[in-house]
Amino acid sequence: MIYIIISIIGLLAIVALFTFLSKSKKKTEETPIIAPPADCCGAHAICEKGLKKVDEKIEYFDDEELDLYRGIPSDQFNDEQIDQFREVLYSIRPEELSDWFISLEKRGLELPDVLKQEIN
């Protein structure tokens, strides 16, 4: 009887050892250490937004109709035009707002002053 108990304990110890070794091996394989570029400041979210500004590709948010207002100063919009901007603004998810502002900037569109106040 004692031999069976010792055998079971030995078997459990071997299984535990193999489990431990396989997990530690997977951790080193799954998470390779990649050094950031030398000019990286550590503010990845900001850098990524900066890269989106540099990229020439324009991302649209189902707001192509706003391109009609290219070149109009932010204090010159009428109520109908402001409502078109407002409709798009309130349909965008909060995490996409900065991307939408970048899109407007690339397209030469200014956000109406009224909406700037609503955002703040």
Q: How many domains does the chain have?
A: 2
The percentage of residues in the chain with a pLDDT greater than 70, rounded to a whole number, is 72
Residue 65 is assigned to a structural domain of this protein: yes
Q: Which two tokens stand for residue 60?
A: 């649209």
CB 119 within 8 A of CB 100: no
Residue 26 is assigned to a structural domain of this protein: yes
The pLDDT of residue 10:
84
- Average pLDDT for residues 64-91, to the nearest whole number? 93
Q: How far is CA 80 from CA 65, 77, 110, in A?
A: 13, 8, 15
Q: Are residues 65 and 114 in the same domain?
A: yes
Residue 37 is assigned to a structural domain of this protein: no
Question: Higher-confidence residue: 37 or 3?
Answer: 3
SS3 14: helix
pLDDT at 83 over 70: yes
Domain span at 11: 1-32
pTM of the full predicted structure?
Answer: 0.55
